[in-house]
Amino acid sequence: MRVAVYYHNYDVRIEERPRPQIGPGEILVKVAACGICGSDVMEWYRRKKAPLVLGHEMCGEIVEVGKKAAARYRVGQRVFVSHHVPCNTCRYCLRGHHTACPTLQSTNFDPGGFSEYVRVPELQTDRGVYLLPNEVSFEEGTLIEPLACVLRSQRLIGLEVGATVLVIGAGISGLLHIQLAKALGAGRIVASDINEFRLEAARRFGADAVISGQEKDIAGRILELNDQRLADLVIICAGTEAVVSPALQAVDSGGSVLFFAVPPAGVQVAVPITELWRREITLKTSYGASPQDLASALELIRLKKLPLLPQMITHRLSLDEAALGFRLVAEARESIKVIIEPWR
């Protein structure tokens, strides 16, 4: 079978590999579509593990079922498959921190979703396969995992009805944060980005106002836009150190800053802790998605609660065009969601 092998953001090669053989408790999925995630182009993280087949926003059709898995699955079923699954029994899972579970952080399917077929290991077959309802297309299925990550973060931070929200970074994650915050009753939503294409996308997807990331005084602009009040919640969706200080300056006393994206590993961020302490600012992080979040995201998509398509997916590419897809996501100019359809 053909796979797209990642060496770095500007070197993605189509190679041949044997079609995976499944075991008794496993299934084989013919990949219909897989989204390119922003984390797929984090070279500081990916290059040290390259070459590898990436792709975790994957859905497709079951084409083989192991004897042990036949009690639950059958050939022809349309599925979304989670690449990471928790054990559900460790102290982290029992406390609701499923994404900190060592099992979740060590699991994956074989190979990644940028391939023609994927073998789903027994653990994922047991607890990481979600049947796609007829109302959910394969394209929509690629948005389950990114939406679930956004759901988890807003659930953890406890977004309040009527809150003023500033989203820094209007890529796919930022746009999903805008849509979800609006659906959950946020009062005023402001988006910031350095890219005009993405600022316009933020307007289309529900932002009440936008601020150029080139603006030197983002906090001042928030005051102008928000009746002389800063933001109750600032959501960071840009993985650069440069946005941290503006985020901390833009949050109101008693408010929260959510680190949905973080700077590269090893970067030390200066935090004015005395000022944050005096103003009772909460700093919160969120990583990945739990099974609960994935199920909730799938249901939101099924019910069409968020206007995801058609504008959310800007590029639909074949496996042969995977290198172009990675370049589009890495350069982050005029793309939102880029998906690979191996059989296109």
Residue 168's CATH number: 3.40.50.720
**Six token digits for residue 79:** 């599925």
Same domain, 270 and 313: no
Same domain, 280 and 314: no
Same domain, 128 and 252: no
Residues 6+ apart with CB under 8 A from 341: 32, 33, 138, 316, 317, 318, 319
Q: Please tell me whether residue 135 adopts helix, strand or coil conformation.
A: coil
**Six token digits for residue 85:** 């699954």
pLDDT value, residue 143: 97
Same domain, 129 and 7: yes
Same domain, 42 and 68: yes
The answer to whether position 294 is within a domain reads: no
Q: How far is CA 47 from the centre of its chain?
A: 20
* Rounded Cα–Cα distance for residues 177 and 294 (Å): 15
- pLDDT tens digits, residue range 120-133? 999 999 999 999 99
Whichever domain contains 24, its CATH number is 3.90.180.10
80, 30 in Cβ contact below 8 A? no
The answer to whether position 194 is within a domain reads: yes
Q: Which amino acid is located at 285 in the chain? A: T
**pLDDT 10s per residue in the chain (344 long)?**
999 999 999 999 999 999 999 999 999 999 999 999 999 999 888 988 899 999 999 999 999 999 999 999 999 999 999 999 999 999 999 999 999 999 999 999 999 999 999 999 999 999 999 999 999 999 999 999 999 999 999 999 999 999 999 999 999 999 999 999 999 999 999 999 999 999 999 999 999 999 999 999 999 999 999 999 999 999 999 999 999 999 999 999 999 999 999 998 889 998 999 999 999 999 999 999 999 999 999 999 999 999 887 789 999 999 999 999 999 999 999 999 999 999 99
Same domain, 66 and 26: yes
pLDDT value, residue 300: 96
DSSP E strand boundaries for 24-106: 27-35, 57-65, 78-81
Same domain, 34 and 104: yes
The answer to whether position 298 is within a domain reads: no
The answer to whether position 239 is within a domain reads: yes
Q: Which H or E run includes 292?
A: helix 291-302
Which domain, by its residues, includes 259?
154-285
Same domain, 236 and 328: no
Same domain, 177 and 107: no
Same domain, 135 and 160: no
Determine how β-strand 251-259 pairs with β-strand 282-285: parallel
Q: What are phi and psi of 287, to 5 degrees?
A: -130, 125
Tell me the CA distances in angstroms from 156 to 97, 153, 284, one per residue in order.
10, 5, 8
The answer to whether position 11 is within a domain reads: yes
Same domain, 112 and 206: no
User: How many CA atoms lie less than 13 Å away from 279 in the CB half-sphere?
Assistant: 19
Which residue, of 285, 316, 331, is where some domain finishes?
285
Alpha helix ranges (H) inside 34-119: 43-46, 91-94, 102-106
Q: Please tell me whether residue 340 adopts helix, strand or coil conformation.
A: strand
Same domain, 337 and 231: no
Domain count, the chain: 2
Nearest alpha-carbon partner for 213 in 199, 227, 228, 230: 199
- pLDDT tens digits, residue range 110-123? 999 999 999 999 99
Alpha helix ranges (H) inside 164-231: 172-183, 196-204, 218-225
**Six token digits for residue 13:** 């090669």
The answer to whether position 188 is within a domain reads: yes
The answer to whether position 303 is within a domain reads: no
pLDDT value, residue 56: 96
pLDDT value, residue 311: 84
The answer to whether position 296 is within a domain reads: no
